[in-house]
Amino acid sequence: MKIAVAQINTTVGDFAGNAARIRAAIDQAVAAGAELVVTPELALSGYPPEDLLLRNDFCDQCARELAALASYAPGIAVVVGHPHREGRTRYNAASLLRGGAIEAIYFKQFLPNYNVFDEKRYFATGNRACVFEAGGRRIAITICEDLWFAQPAAQAKAEGAELLLSINASPYHRNKLAERYHVMGTRVKETRLPLLYVHWVGGQDELVFDGASFAFHADGSLGYQGETFREAVDLVDFEGDRITGSMAPPLTEEETIYRALVTGVRDYVEKNRFPGVLVGLSGGVDSALVAAVCADALGPERTHAVMMPSDYTAAMSVEDAREMAGLMGLEYSEIAIRPVVEAFRAQLAAPFAGLPEDATEENLQARTRGTLLMALSNKFGWLVVSTGNKSEMATGYATLYGDMAGGYALIKDVVKTLVYRLANWRNSQGRVIPQRVIDRAPSAELRPDQTDQDTLPPYEVLDAVVERYMERDMDPELIAGLGYDAEVVRRVVHLIRVNEYKRRQAPPGVRITPRGFGKDWRYPITSGFRPGA
């Protein structure tokens, strides 16, 4: 039998638009002679709906749209993911639509409640398998987390299933596909059943979903691999104990992450209906990468760049910003900040009298730039995309209401060392960033001869400590035991701890690691805990 894998990009709460996407997938499946079309987890509502699920009107509108879908194509079986309400109880569900009706419904049995997941806040658990017949074969529906445990797969096999069907909305992070291969391969080995993994694709606030649907034959070998970060309706053949389909080529880690960033900013802008984006182009590598991603995601005509030089901005920074804008084809302008900064300093001269200059005067420059960016955003409706990276967000090497100003922090989960890797990868696909921007020592250019390493440890060390402490929850002593200077480790951990109040005010941005500063980082601002003290 032929099965259509609807790897589609839906939007939270856009029931009419989501149903239209599902109908388009059904049309493609029917035209291709498929007997079954499968959509991802919560495809009809979008994922994750969060507290919208607590509204009866949200769930009821979804139910009405599901009923309309059921009558759309009575000649083909369709599996649709959706929330289901029974009184005050809600389930993460999947319905089998066939013959113009809802023939069967499955309730997710294992609800993730860790990292970015809060499903136990919203859903009750199911406890029964759902095995249906199509094309003369018996197929079991499961939903995402179900197959991270042995019980639902064993239960489905006991009910006579010949194929495990897993519908998913599994947020991307680095190496996530390898994790899925391992876990799904374990279920195949246990049951000796083939498995089809159907996955959502697209961006939702800070989460991105990579698609990359796949199938394993019953012997555990890969029979189908969908594209990564690409919407598609793929056809697979299910014959005997084998599932065969197209095989998308593997991507490098840099290309996968770059596609994740493109998807995140594109969907945030498109789904929230911004006409374009605005990037403060500094001549540094962070803003260069952000501009390149935005131009690739939205087109250069919707990516606007402004250079805001100060007295400390090097001539090469202005030259490189102009060259970048030309290489990318961006609309580009320059606004000197000196007159505004001098006006601020004049107003503050009396209260600051007799006090030495410090970071306050540096931050005035950054806050002037933030104000100008937000003024342009207000006037033209553009979304300001801020350019701070994860290394800076971790240590507070950023200015509140200055370079942190904006509506989307595109690279907030990308450490500095990875910024360089991504910039080099993008240039390998076609030069858009002057090599001097990548090669020069990074600097905020807020005082004479400033470099980042005046304040921070070398990024190779800083990023390693941030990854181990923040993403892996390692104790500072254990990190130092790996060969890192104990005082440097203590200093980095201290900076992470005391800058929580800044991060709480930062915009959302694409999550590309197993733990980002956002939905899955929930540390209190006020805390007496001193790790490594």
Rounded to an integer, what distance in angstroms lies between the CA atom of residue 95 and that of residue 80?
5
Phi and psi dihedrals of 494, rounded to 5? Answer: -60, -45
Vertex 269: Cα angle to 27 and 286 (nearest 5):
130
Rounded to an integer, what distance in angstroms lies between the CA atom of residue 303 and that of residue 320?
17
Residue 471 DSSP class? I
Residue 126 DSSP class? P
Give the H or E element holding residue 30.
helix 15-31
CA proximity to 94, closest of 139, 42, 50: 42
> Would you call 319 helix, strand, or coil by DSSP?
helix
HEC secondary structure over 151-182:
HHHHHHHHCCCCEEEEEECCCCCCCHHHHHHH
Residue 280 DSSP class? E
Burial of 250 (0-12, 13-18, 19+ CB in 10 A): exposed
Sign of CA dihedral 147, 151, 156, 162: positive
First-to-last alpha carbon distance for the chain, in angstroms, is: 63
CA proximity to 223, closest of 241, 242, 210: 242
Which residues have a catalytic role annotated?
A: 41, 108, 144
Rounded to an integer, what distance in angstroms lies between the CA atom of residue 472 and that of residue 468?
5
Sole residue written with tokens 């910024």: 419
